[in-house]
Structure 1
Amino acid sequence: MGTLLGHIVPGTFFTIFAIWWGFSIAIKYYYLYYRKNNTQKSNIYYSTTTFPCLCLFSFQKNPIESYIKICCVIIGMTGEFLTGFTHLYNEKLQRKTWLFSENNMQHITMFFGFSLGSIFEILIHYKYALPDGIEFLANILAFCIEGFLFHFHLHERNEIDIHVHLLLLYAIIFCIIAAIWEYNRPNQILATYARIAGTLLQGFWFYAIGFILYFPSNDPYWIWLPSHEHILLITVIFVWIALMTCIVLFLQSILVWYILKRRYSHYDNEEMIPNSIIHISDNEDSDDNNSQIQFSQRNEQYYNETYA
């Protein structure tokens, strides 16, 4: 059951934050669409790795999401550390020795990798002189660390274990590609949505891995065999979960669109959504080719408008 929990915890983190990002980006996109239709201004979307918490009105000007991500990392690392020790008898030494699980060590390293991006987000908020776009690079690095760790997680495991983690590796590679795309084209909303979809897919698939490998029942019915039929079935499950991920994000955007349209359609466009969730540009000459050149002005403008 402890190993099942070891997959549920990271799966929960990935799922919660992906859903939160989808919620926030849907609000931002709705505002861009509404503002364009009402002011006829050119609105340029810019991606961010963190969003202000609209539900905490007193703390909208603080990087609450970054702090929450660091707290989640600490919780995950602490849980892995406390459950990683075993006191077993060593035949070679003829006595009991304390051992620390390699799987727990791997999960701790993965959690730590994802904390780097949040640390950089906080440092940027407090105006530290850091290279432009470093929070995006830290995000890419975190996914690369995760993929590298799980690539070697497959060594000397049974065929079912290898297959489910190989599918997870595919999801991680997709996140890496999406994160690189988002870094190079920060004004393309589909790049951000691709990263969010890959993150949510990871969260759902972590749950699936836990229940496939460590189902909390001794019933032989729930034991997956390394047969051709079971391998194909697991692959189909992964594809359906990927499709469900896209459907969830689409329905989420439709729900946000419907709620905001009903609630704010009679307001002035500048009063519709709190400024803390908005980050746009009225520069009509902007395009994908100069996205990286605009990083400096974009970051300064965003954090001045959001957290100043």
Structure 2
Amino acid sequence: MGNFKGHALPGSFFLLFGIWWSVKYPMRYLCKKNKNVCYVASMSVHRRIDIIEGIVKAIFALIGFLFYYHVHGREMLDIHVHTLLLVAVFGGSISIFLEVFLRGNIVLELLRTSLCILQGSWFWQIGFILYPPNGRTQWQLDSRDNMMFVTMCYCWHYMVALLIMAISYAIVSWVIHTKLKRIDPLEMGLLKSSDQAQETEEEL
């Protein structure tokens, strides 16, 4: 990861997954409350997605151990930006651990989602700080003023992550409630029957 692209690539990966989760979990939560308007995919598709997401969740912990040893012997600002990254990584790991015991908890899922988005955007920020593209001015890595500014930037990144989640939740909620208003009584009855059939399949 000793260049800008080495930080931008994993940053894009975590950003995409975080944005995907910011849509998926609100949709699943709201669909449970409004089963009659949600067409749920087959169980096999859900299992494949869960396997992929399980791998991503495991990466959280691995990256944490990687960066714990990645910062030894580096400049002060370099250590600081990676330490802030570890806050997001280990926060996500703790959330994943708690989800083992509290499956389907929307609060933990949204917490993990926000930390995943934060991790992705912060990877990009680290790339801009340590390896400025296009020959831009290098940051002073031993400046305490820069450390304070970077800490403030980290808080801004998390606020943006929360804003993205709020927008996603609002859009998903609006779509579901819009569909609910358009369903006629006959279609509502068919959907109820479909829901009952799906619940029976899950019990089996």
| Category of TM-score, reference length = shorter chain | 0.7 to 0.9
Match of 2:135, SS state, is coil
**Which residue is equivalent to 1:193?**
110
Question: How far apart in 2 are the matches of 1:280 and 1:28?
Answer: 15
Question: CA offsets, 1:183-239, max 9 Å, x none?
Answer: 11114210111111111111111111111111113343x524421111000000001
Instruction: Work out which of the residue numbers 216, 219, 222 in structure 1 matches 2:133.
Output: 216
> Whose strand proportion is higher, 1 or 2?
1
Q: Structure 1 residues 26 and 151, CA, compared in 2 at 3 Å: closer, same or farther?
A: same
**Which residue is equivalent to 1:154?**
71
Question: How far apart in 2 are the matches of 1:251 and 1:155?
Answer: 39
Match of 1:156, SS state, is coil
**Which residue is equivalent to 2:17?**
17
Question: How far apart in 1 are the matches of 2:24 and 2:17?
Answer: 10
Please tell me the root mean square deviation across aligned C-alpha atoms, in Å: 3.2
Question: How far apart in 2 are the matches of 1:241 and 1:226?
Answer: 22
| Residue-pair matches, total | 193
Instruction: Work out which of the residue numbers 301, 304, 307 in structure 1 matches 2:202.
Output: 301
> Whose helix proportion is higher, 1 or 2?
2
Contact 1:178 1:195 in 2 (8 A): yes
Contact 1:212 1:224 in 2 (8 A): no
Question: CA offsets, 1:152-196, max 9 Å, x none?
Answer: 000111111111101001111111111112111114210111111
2:169 pairs with 1:253: yes
Question: How far apart in 2 are the matches of 1:213 and 1:234?
Answer: 12
Which one has a bigger Cα radius of gyration?
A: 1
Contact 2:81 2:126 in 1 (8 A): yes
Match of 1:212, SS state, is helix
Of structures 1 and 2, the one scoring higher in RCO (CA 8 A, sep 6+) is: 2
Question: How far apart in 2 are the matches of 1:223 and 1:27?
Answer: 42
Contact 2:78 2:141 in 1 (8 A): no
Q: CA deviation at 1:263?
A: 2.7
- TM-score calculated relative to the size of structure 2: 0.80
Quick one: percent identity of the two aligned structures? 28
What are the residue-to-residue correspondences of 1:1-308 with 2, within 5 Å? Answer: 3-35=3-35, 61-62=44-45, 63=47, 65=49, 69=52, 117-118=54-55, 139=57, 141-220=58-137, 222-267=138-183, 268=188, 271=191, 301=202
Q: CA deviation at 1:143?
A: 2.4
Q: CA deviation at 1:66?
A: 6.1
Q: Structure 1 residues 149 and 271, CA, compared in 2 at 3 Å: closer, same or farther?
A: same
Q: CA deviation at 1:252?
A: 0.6
Question: CA offsets, 1:8-50, max 9 Å, x none?
Answer: 1111111111111121111112222224xx8xxxxxxxxxxxx
Contact 1:34 1:269 in 2 (8 A): no
Could you list the runs of 5+ residues in structure 1 that have no partner in the other structure? 39-51, 70-113, 119-137, 282-299
Question: CA offsets, 1:79-130, max 9 Å, x none?
Answer: xxxxxxxxxxxxxxxxxxxxxxxxxxxxxxxxxxx8xx34xxxxxxxxxxxx
Question: How far apart in 2 are the matches of 1:142 and 1:21?
Answer: 16
Question: How far apart in 2 are the matches of 1:31 and 1:210?
Answer: 39
- TM-score calculated relative to the size of structure 1: 0.55
Match of 2:142, SS state, is coil
Q: Give the counterpart letter for 1:271 in structure 2.
A: L
Question: How far apart in 1 are the matches of 2:74 and 2:135?
Answer: 20
Could you list the runs of 5+ residues in structure 2 that have no partner in the other structure? none
Q: Structure 1 residues 234 and 266, CA, compared in 2 at 3 Å: closer, same or farther?
A: same
Contact 2:75 2:141 in 1 (8 A): no
Q: Structure 1 residues 17 and 270, CA, compared in 2 at 3 Å: closer, same or farther?
A: farther
